[in-house]
Amino acid sequence: MICAVIDIGSNTMRMSVYKVTDGKFTILMTKKEMAGLANYITGGQLSKQGIEEMVEVLNRFTASLEYVTVDSVHTFATASLRNISNSEEVIAYVKRSTSIDIELLSGDEEARLSFAGAIYDAPINDGCLFDLGGGSTEVVAFGDKFPYYVRSVNMGSLNLFREHVEKIWPKNRELEELRRFISDTMATMELPKNAAPVLIGVGGTARSLRTLINMQHDRDIMQRHITRKEFDDIVKFLMYRDRLVRDAVLRKCPDRIHTIIPGALVISELVKRLKIENLYISDFGIREGYLWKKIMRGTT
């Protein structure tokens, strides 16, 4: 079986095509577009321009499948449509325009599917996981690979940037505003106090930070294991906010130039509150979890 999974996020839209054989899957193709749908939200609604941007990206994704024999295409949305008041109208319009059915995931579903995708590949039995997206952050604590704490908050790297940063690079005053807001938001989450001090990271910001860390240490860019000190050092590096830092981000992850600092501050607060000693940045996440749980296993 070959199937495509499309993820409509607040910052990024992605499509992955998988080949499923004997209960396992391999990735055949992945496409990504920085649609930035959160930038099109006005008065709590996704604007007409934003809806058309989404439709155009979806059409490009499906057009790229023209020469691939795909058995099914599955599309879901997370905070991008969950946090707006006209989600039903948007989903209906997309259906009329493209024949694509969009499944709208709750924050709890998003967290559990991100965990299912990451844990499929991660050599970790006990710890915590975060999925930092453009419009929300999900946190899962687990023991023996079973989740016992699941939370989702409407705080992501892109909406933090939009609400707290005037230009591309945050000023000192804006950094303090970001830190206060992130700390206050996490205080409402009642994070677990005795979880194992290992944190699995999911999402584009986490992978971008991993790339920068591996670059600094002159090692394989796909190295997934990161120490607490290495993570703290990259956050300090980003806080310099000088030309050297901007050049490094522009070379390695240019599409994150405006969101990497807000995202790094979210992860940093999690690391501090959970007393994390080591991080594992996964290449798998919600799309693989959706594939595994909803398509391969047919569960919800």
Task: Give 56-110 pLDDT, tens digit per residue.
Answer: 999 999 999 988 889 999 999 999 999 999 999 999 999 999 999 999 999 999 9
Is 242 part of a structural domain of the chain? Answer: yes
> To the nearest whole number, what is the mean pLDDT of the chain?
94
Range of 43's domain? 2-104
Is 243 part of a structural domain of the chain? Answer: yes
- The answer to whether residues 158 and 256 belong to one domain is yes
- The answer to whether residues 12 and 139 belong to one domain is no
- Number of separate domains in the chain: 2
Is 110 part of a structural domain of the chain? Answer: no
148 has a pLDDT exceeding 90: yes
Is 296 part of a structural domain of the chain? Answer: no
- The answer to whether residues 258 and 146 belong to one domain is yes
Burial class (CB in 10 A: 0-12, 13-18, 19+), 85: exposed
3-state secondary structure of 91: helix
Is 155 part of a structural domain of the chain? Answer: yes
By mean pLDDT, which of 10-14, 105-109, 242-246 is the weakest?
242-246
221 has a pLDDT exceeding 90: no
- The answer to whether residues 60 and 181 belong to one domain is no
Residue that wins the pLDDT comparison between 260 and 296: 260
Tell me, what's the pLDDT at 66? 87
Angstrom distance (rounded) from CA 201 to CA 189: 18
Is 293 part of a structural domain of the chain? Answer: no
List strand residue ranges (DSSP E) for the chain, in order. Answer: 2-8, 13-21, 24-33, 41-42, 45-46, 72-77, 102-104, 127-132, 137-143, 146-153, 198-202, 225-227, 278-281
- The answer to whether residues 181 and 57 belong to one domain is no
- Supply the CATH number for residue 223's domain: 3.30.420.150
- The answer to whether residues 147 and 215 belong to one domain is yes
- The answer to whether residues 258 and 130 belong to one domain is yes
pTM above 0.85, yes or no: yes
The DSSP element (H or E) to which 244 belongs, if any, is helix 243-252
Is 27 part of a structural domain of the chain? Answer: yes
299 has a pLDDT exceeding 60: no
- The answer to whether residues 134 and 261 belong to one domain is yes
- The answer to whether residues 68 and 217 belong to one domain is no
- The answer to whether residues 250 and 129 belong to one domain is yes
- The answer to whether residues 135 and 277 belong to one domain is yes
The pLDDT tens digits of the residues spanning 229-243 come to: 999 999 999 998 788
30 has a pLDDT exceeding 50: yes
Q: What is the mean pLDDT of residues 119-148?
A: 95
Angstrom distance (rounded) from CA 149 to CA 128: 9
Is 286 part of a structural domain of the chain? Answer: no
- The answer to whether residues 136 and 252 belong to one domain is yes
